[in-house]
């Protein structure tokens, strides 16, 4: 067994989503339902993420992922990268590994890897 099924209390914890598309919005929605403080880093966002921004307590940093962008936000407890760009996802993964931040990466094929995965709820 590679992953241990656990439930984690993330209420009022800073969580970060990289990407503004449908997959990123779905992952952000899970963080929102759990009561997390969600920040999104993406140069643009699609309809579902716009809905989260207008109806939930979500902060959008209109930027592409970089160490510089990370310096402008609170250090997240958990990160999901669903940028739709494998190079960006790899950069997020490396950054999180270097800074001991648990990360879940969703590639364009919707395969996930990293320190944790999302189970169907």
User: How do the pLDDT tens digits run along the chain, 121 residues long?
Assistant: 677 888 899 999 999 999 999 999 999 999 999 999 999 999 999 999 999 999 888 999 999 999 999 999 999 999 999 999 999 999 999 999 999 999 999 976 666 788 988 765 5
Its pTM stands at 0.93
pLDDT for the residue numbered 34: 94
Query: What region, left, alpha or beta, does residue 44 occupy, with left being phi > 0 and alpha being psi -120 to 50 degrees?
Result: beta
List Cα–Cα distances, 92 to 16, 33, 67, 84, 114, in angstroms. Answer: 11, 24, 9, 12, 10
pLDDT for the residue numbered 111: 66
List Cα–Cα distances, 35 to 8, 62, 71, in angstroms. Answer: 11, 23, 23
């Amino acid at each position: 067994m590679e992953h241990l099924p656990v439930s984690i209390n993330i209420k009022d914890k800073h969580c970060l989503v990289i990407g503004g598309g449908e997959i990123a919005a779905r992952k952000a929605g899970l963080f929102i339902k759990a009561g997390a403080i969600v920040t999104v880093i993406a140069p643009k966002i699609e309809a579902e993420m716009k809905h989260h921004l207008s109806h939930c307590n979500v902060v959008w940093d209109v930027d592409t992922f970089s160490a510089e962008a990370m310096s402008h936000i609170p250090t997240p407890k958990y990160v999901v990268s669903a940028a739709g760009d494998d190079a960006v996802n790899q950069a997020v993964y490396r950054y999180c590994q270097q800074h001991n931040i648990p990360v879940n990466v969703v590639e364009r094929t919707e395969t996930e890897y990293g320190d944790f995965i999302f189970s169907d709820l």
